[in-house]
Structure 1
């Protein structure tokens, strides 16, 4: 059953384009079912790049079975202006990540947890993380936004990660913003 909320989302990776969120979720389920005793990290993160006449935002969804493979996809949004204000851009990146995280409803999260549940005593794990493209370093222009953005991500119920641990935003999504 398709949720109307899902229909305006279009995801892609190197194998497929035009995937709905429902299709993305099915890929994640199949990936986890292929090895239900794995160590899974479901991660969502967004990065942006200001270009000559627009700003490109890429949100990555990555399901990682630590040491045993990964499945990932992206969602691309283009804003037809140059977003030069750093706070506005970081805040919009986080809004896009929050929007995707919200699609992982309690029902969907339970479905994913249920895959690993029978294998917990054998060491299976499942966590969900929100990767934020900001850092705490003294040289980092985004450090003054860390507290605000981490609080926002915590409010979504997922574990926030910032640089250098926010690789879905700072590395995977970043690759597609160019």
Structure 2
């Protein structure tokens, strides 16, 4: 599982997490949260991009992303649920790594690419329930920038 950092290039999951912990330890008095969001684009196949953002509140952020190409998924419902499950899987891995690394207090948030306007509005309750039932805070559009802006930018 390789991630891409705009400033550091290709990183493994462990290297990404070590970079995140180094970033956090660089200014330990700041407040942090880690945000995970996934978006997808369908062409001949479906390109899923999961973004991981470490936000130093009030002082900027760093982000990483990974691409995953799957067969063509035509169903919007299936695509949204798959995006959400990919974000949840990544959120769980990050939470586990942070607990082992002595940084268990860092808040992990999941951004879902659904909103009250458009075709996805009927899915909000289900996917938000999936996320909160897994122990994470869920954000939807217009607050889900990890999915709707950062990940979306790299699906194209």
Verify the 8 A CA contact 1:58 1:75 in the aligned structure 2. Answer: yes
Q: 51, 54, 61: which is aligned to 2:52?
A: 61
Q: Distance in 2 between matches of 1:33 and 1:136?
A: 38
SS in 1 for 2:103: helix
Instruction: Structure 1: give runs of 5+ residues left out of the alignment.
Output: 1-8, 115-125
Cα shift at 1:69: 2.0
State the number of aligned residues. 155
Matched residues in 2 for 1:48 and 1:54: separation? 10
| Deviation at residue 163 of structure 1 after TM alignment | 0.5
Aligned match for 1:135, one of 88, 99, 115? 115
> Does the alignment pair 1:148 with 2:148?
no
Secondary structure in 1 matching 2:155: coil
Q: Which stretch of the first structure deviates more once superposed, 18-27 or 84-93? A: 18-27
Q: CA deviation at 1:129?
A: 0.5
- After TM superposition, the score normalised by the length of structure 2 is 0.92
Query: Whose strand proportion is higher, 1 or 2?
Result: 2
Q: Distance in 2 between matches of 1:162 and 1:109?
A: 26
Q: Which runs of 5+ in 2 are unaligned?
A: none
Listed one character per residue, the Cα deviations across residues 113-138 of structure 1 (whole Å, up to 9, x for unaligned) are 46xxxxxxxxxxx422000000123x
- Equivalent residue for 2:85, pick from 76, 95, 105: 95
Structure-1-length-normalised TM-score: 0.81
Deviation for aligned residue 1:71? 1.3
Aligned to 2:29: 37
Instruction: Verify the 8 A CA contact 2:112 2:141 in the aligned structure 1.
Output: yes
3-state DSSP class of the match of 1:12?
strand
Say which of 12, 28, 40 aligns to 1:20.
Answer: 12
**Quick check: 2:53–2:63 contact (8 Å CA) kept in 1?**
yes
Pair member with larger Rg? 1
